């Protein structure tokens, strides 16, 4: 993920809406790092939790016929010749 | 076709993600292309011109309160590039078009006139080649 962005869960503080979220609401968003810093400094939001988006290995399974390695998939599969009529 | 005419009272102004609608009493955008003369010799002698580079931005009159001053001065003083969005009548009609762009606040000149409300003008200049877009 680019260092220019950061992902977290935030709560809107103060008296103004932030990105469409009302004061008191909690939201999760991927924000520009500098925009996040400015919003926190002026008290519009507080960071509740920094999130690192990702998939745990145990939460998904590939299809049964998924090639284990790229080398196992032939680039030009041999075609069967049509039988002579 | 019916054109619904309205009085401007419910515009939505968002600066750097924060709803600053109530801080402004006027807001709008400008988009002006330079006129480039491309006139050639002709029978009629009529001038010809094409559109050159385009200057775009937003501007509005804002109320000088301590929080508004702090908010805008921080954006100006740090040369920050931030999103400005203007949605005419947006506080009551979310279907209206939103005009938005990444801008800078290059000048900050609040003034006070004795007997008048504390109001000043802010001009936001577009800071990237995407310009003003609508959604």
What single string gives the DSSP state of each residue in B24-40? Answer: EEEEEEEEEEEEEE---
Is residue A62 within 8 A of residue B43, CB to CB? The reply is: no
> Which secondary structure element, helix H or strand E, spans residue A12, and what is its range?
strand A5-12
Q: Give this complex's ipTM.
A: 0.83
* Structure confidence by residue, pLDDT tens digits, A10-28: 999 989 999 999 999 999 9
Q: How far apart are the first and last CA of chain B?
A: 23
The alpha carbon of residue B77 is apart from the nearest alpha carbon of chain A, in Å, by 12
Q: Does A10 touch chain B (CB under 8 A)?
A: no
Nearest chain A residue (CA) to B14: A19
User: What pLDDT is stored for residue A61 in this prediction?
Assistant: 81
Residue B41 has pLDDT above 60, yes or no: yes
Contact (CB<8Å) B17/A39: yes
State how far the Cα of B119 lies from the Cα of B27, in Å rounded to an integer. 13
State which residue of chain A sits closest to B102, comparing Cα positions: A35
- pLDDT over 70, % of chain B: 99
Best probe of the A interface among B16, B68, B81, by most A CBs < 10 A, is B16
Residues A27-53 as b/e (b if ≥16 CB within 10 A, e otherwise) read: bebebbeebbebbeebebbeeeeeeee
The first and second tokens of residue B130, run together, are: 């995407």
**pTM of the full predicted structure?**
0.80
Chain A: closest CA distance from residue B52 (Å): 32
Mean pLDDT across B24-29 = 97
- Which residues is B57 bridged to in the sheet? B30, B125
Chain A residue whose CA is closest to B82? A35
Averaged pLDDT of chain B: 95
Q: Where residue A63 falls among pLDDT bands split at 50, 70, 90?
A: confident
Evaluate if residue A1 carries a pLDDT over 50: no
Q: Hey, are the CB atoms on B19 and A18 less than 8 Å from each other?
A: yes
Contact partners, residue B59, CB within 8 Å, separation at least 6:
B27, B28, B29, B30, B121, B122, B123, B124
Measured CA angle at A40 (ends A9, B21), to 5 deg? 100
- A:B CB pairs within 8 Å: 30
CB contact, 8 Å: B71 with chain A? yes
pLDDT tens-digit readout, B60-100 = 999 999 999 999 999 999 999 999 999 999 999 999 999 99
pLDDT band of B51, cuts 50, 70, 90: very high
Residue A39 near residue B17, CB atoms below 8 Å: yes
Q: Is the pLDDT of residue A2 over 60?
A: no
Band (pLDDT 50/70/90 cuts) for residue A50 is: very high
> With an 8 Å Cβ cutoff, is A9 touching chain B?
no
């Amino acid at each position: 993920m680019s260092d220019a962005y950061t992902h977290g869960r935030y709560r809107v503080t103060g008296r103004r809406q932030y990105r469409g979220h009302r004061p008191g609401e909690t939201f999760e968003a991927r924000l520009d790092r500098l925009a996040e810093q400015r919003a926190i400094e002026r008290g519009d939001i507080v960071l509740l939790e920094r999130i690192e988006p990702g998939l745990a290995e145990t939460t998904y399974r590939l299809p049964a016929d998924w090639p284990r390695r790229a080398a196992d998939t032939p680039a030009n599969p041999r075609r069967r010749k049509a039988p002579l009529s | 076709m019916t054109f619904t005419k309205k009085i401007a009272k419910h515009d939505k102004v968002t600066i750097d993600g924060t709803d600053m609608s109530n801080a402004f009493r006027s807001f709008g955008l400008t988009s002006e292309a330079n006129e480039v003369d491309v006139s050639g010799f002709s029978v009629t002698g009529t001038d010809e011109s094409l559109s050159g580079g385009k200057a775009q931005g937003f501007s509005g009159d804002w109320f000088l309160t301590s929080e508004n001053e702090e908010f805008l001065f921080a954006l100006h003083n740090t040369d920050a590039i931030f999103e400005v969005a203007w949605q005419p009548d947006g506080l009551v009609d979310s279907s209206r078009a939103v005009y938005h762009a990444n801008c800078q606040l290059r000048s900050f000149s609040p003034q006070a006139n004795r007997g008048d409300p504390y109001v000043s003008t802010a001009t936001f200049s577009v800071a990237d080649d995407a310009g003003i877009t609508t959604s």
